[in-house]
Amino acid sequence: MDHEALAHEMRGLREQVTGITDTAVAASDGLLIAADTADSIDPEGLAALAAAGLGLARRTAQATARGTLRRTVTYGSHGCAAFYAVGDTALMVVLGDEGLDVDRLHRATQPALDRIGSILMNKTAEGV
């Protein structure tokens, strides 16, 4: 797995969008693949919670005939957590503070998700 390439994508997203505080990439089962998080965040726990939340949102989209899930966002009093599907096998979670422009985040995230998907596909193709 090219962890440096994943780290580069996560750092690049943070540089593009003001307000991003933490990012992580995980398998759809919640297994952490890579993280760029503050010490106050448990990256393994974040990955597991993101997988559970994204799984529920994915199932809701299917059950209500809304198509393939692209993302879900949870808003809290101190910011938000955005969960993005990376194909059918992975996800990316982005945490942001109150200043995060979520529309800008969504626009900036799609190209990064495509590149992350390619990095993960290369891992699968290598059999690692």
Where in the chain are the domains?
3-121
Model's pTM, two decimal places? 0.89
Question: What pLDDT shows up at residue 95?
Answer: 97
Predicted confidence at residue 43, as pLDDT, reads: 96
| % of the chain beyond a pLDDT of 70 | 95
Give per-residue pLDDT as tens, 32-91. Answer: 999 999 999 999 999 999 999 999 998 999 999 999 888 999 999 999 999 999 988 899
Output the CA torsion 53→120→108→93 (10° steps): 20
pLDDT reported for residue 71:
92
What pLDDT shows up at residue 126? 53
Tokens representing residue 23 in the block: 């990012």
Q: Please give the residue that has the higher pLDDT: either 126 or 87.
A: 87
pLDDT for the residue numbered 128: 47
Local confidence band at 123 (pLDDT 50, 70, 90 cut-offs): low
CA distance linking residue 26 with residue 31, whole number of Å:
5
pLDDT of 124 higher than 70: no
3-state secondary structure of 71: strand
What's the mean per-residue pLDDT of the chain?
A: 91
Q: Which residues in 69-91 are b (16+ Cβ under 10 Å) and which e?
A: bebbbeeeeebbbbbbbbeeebb
Q: How far is CA 105 from the centre of its chain?
A: 11
3-121 is classed in which CATH architecture? 2-Layer Sandwich (3.30)
On whether the CB atoms of residues 14 and 36 are closer than 8 A, the answer is: yes
